[in-house]
């Protein structure tokens, strides 16, 4: 089948990059499970996804696709690509050097930064293009619509948050130390942490309106609460934490983190008792009061 031929060409691109399929999915900013299903032939690549694959792999998008657009922007193999399938960046502008990680990641990173500064609905495609030193056509080439761009921004934030937690806690064996480290990572102390929380607050509002973003929101919090619950279970086994319902404790702690963080961000900086240090102290006090096992003897 010609769909299988497209998948085979994509596999060649992935192999040539020398990274895992999961890392490649991160670079083209899609769910790894979507990439897996497309490679296995149970899902069609969209035109925009193939454009991003071509960008990351440094291959000609027309040769990679060899297809026309089907329903809902999906790719139907068998014919030559048309302008309606994949729109190329404006030829009137000289292409800028490919940024680190490829153009799609640059677009998403700049989108996240602008959302943090202005809010999603105040960010125009023209603003993102200017930040990336490219054209609006180049933005639409990779992300045809705002919904797809928002979904990519949400997924990138999720992946970055998960990656930072994994790197920071690697090798930590004491469950109490790991839980305190997770709290530290979620406390909006630095400018980068505050920027990330501003994005999360904006995305919470979008999750209430968008089914797609809502599903990503549910997925992220299932993973995040699962991480905290696993640490608590390990702490109970180590005798660090008292016997508790790990899932219930994780739900309470993550909700407390969200509530306190949103109050920190909504409060004028510098007011006594309202900043990140006060939030951190409150969370540690909660852990000590509700989870930490009493010292015997």
Chunk the chain into consecutive blocks of 10 residues (it has 297) and report each block's average pLDDT, rounded to whole numbers.
81 90 86 89 86 85 60 39 40 48 85 89 92 91 85 84 86 90 87 84 80 82 93 94 94 92 78 76 89 73
pLDDT digit string (tens) for 243-278?
999 999 999 999 999 998 888 888 766 666 667 888
What is the structure's pLDDT at 74? 43
What is the structure's pLDDT at 237? 95
Helix 103-118 and helix 47-57, axial crossing angle in degrees, nearest 10: 110
pTM for this entry: 0.72
What is the structure's pLDDT at 91? 40
Average pLDDT along the chain: 81
Q: What is the dihedral of CA 213, 216, 218, 224, to 10 degrees?
A: -140
What is the structure's pLDDT at 141? 87
């Amino acid at each position: 089948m010609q769909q299988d031929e497209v998948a085979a060409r994509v596999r060649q691109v992935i192999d040539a990059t020398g990274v895992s399929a999961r890392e490649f999915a991160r670079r083209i900013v899609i769910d790894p499970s979507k990439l897996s299903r497309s490679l296995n032939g149970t899902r069609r690549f969209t035109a925009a996804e193939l454009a991003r694959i071509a960008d990351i792999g440094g291959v000609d998008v027309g040769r990679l696709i060899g297809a026309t657009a089907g329903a809902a922007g999906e790719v139907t193999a068998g014919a030559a690509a048309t302008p309606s399938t994949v729109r190329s960046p404006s030829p009137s502008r000289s292409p800028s050097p490919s940024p680190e990680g490829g153009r799609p990641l640059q677009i998403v990173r700049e989108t996240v930064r602008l959302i943090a500064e202005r809010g999603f609905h105040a960010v125009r495609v023209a603003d993102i293009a200017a930040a990336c030193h490219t054209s609006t056509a180049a933005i639409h080439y990779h992300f045809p619509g705002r919904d797809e761009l928002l979904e990519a921004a949400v997924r990138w934030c999720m992946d970055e948050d998960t990656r930072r937690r994994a790197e920071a806690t690697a090798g930590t064996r004491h469950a109490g130390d790991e839980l305190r480290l997770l709290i530290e990572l979620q406390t909006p102390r630095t400018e980068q942490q505050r920027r990330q929380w501003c994005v999360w607050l904006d995305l919470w509002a979008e999750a209430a309106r968008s089914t797609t973003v809502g599903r990503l929101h549910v997925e992220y919090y299932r993973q995040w609460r699962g991480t905290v619950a696993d640490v608590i279970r390990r702490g109970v086994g180590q005798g660090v934490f008292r016997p508790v319902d790990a899932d219930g404790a994780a739900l309470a702690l993550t909700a407390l983190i969200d509530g306190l963080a949103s109050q920190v961000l909504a409060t004028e900086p510098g007011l006594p008792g309202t900043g990140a240090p006060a939030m951190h102290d409150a969370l540690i006090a909660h852990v000590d009061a509700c989870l930490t096992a009493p010292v015997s003897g």
